[in-house]
Amino acid sequence: MNHNFNFKGGEKLSKISASWLVSYLYYLHIDKNHLNWEKDGYTKNSVNSRKSLTNNTKEFHLFWVNEVLNMNDNKLTNGSKLKLTSIDVKNMARDLLSFYSKTNL
């Protein structure tokens, strides 16, 4: 089931997936050993498509990561192939927000 998030850029985030975005950004900015975003069940085409869309939506990243903290825990990782809990995703989002605040994004 695909749905658009009801906030700025939500239709784009829906194509990426909020939990996948946080996982990928966490890999990029915090921990290069975190590879959940590319493993287990995602095709190469799906990963490449999500990476491309992520790279083309940088102006939304800080806003989206902040929105993740307000998302329903049950829906955040429902259907996700990341093998992460909503608590994991929200903790990574908090780490990303701390990173962004230090880099003045």
DSSP for 43-58, please give it.
-HHHHHHHHHHHHT-G
88 in any annotated domain:
yes
36 in any annotated domain:
yes
38 in any annotated domain:
yes
Long-range contacts of 77-83 (CB under 8 A, 24+ apart): 77/19, 79/1, 80/17, 80/19, 80/20, 81/40, 81/41, 81/42, 82/19, 82/20, 82/23, 82/36, 82/37, 82/40, 83/36, 83/39, 83/40
Q: Containing domain of residue 76, as a range?
A: 10-103
Query: What's the confidence (pLDDT) of residue 40?
Result: 64
Instruction: Count up the domains in the chain and report the number.
Output: 1
37 in any annotated domain:
yes
Q: In this predicted model, what pLDDT tens digit does every residue of 65-99 receive, in sequence order? A: 999 999 999 888 877 778 899 999 999 999 999 99
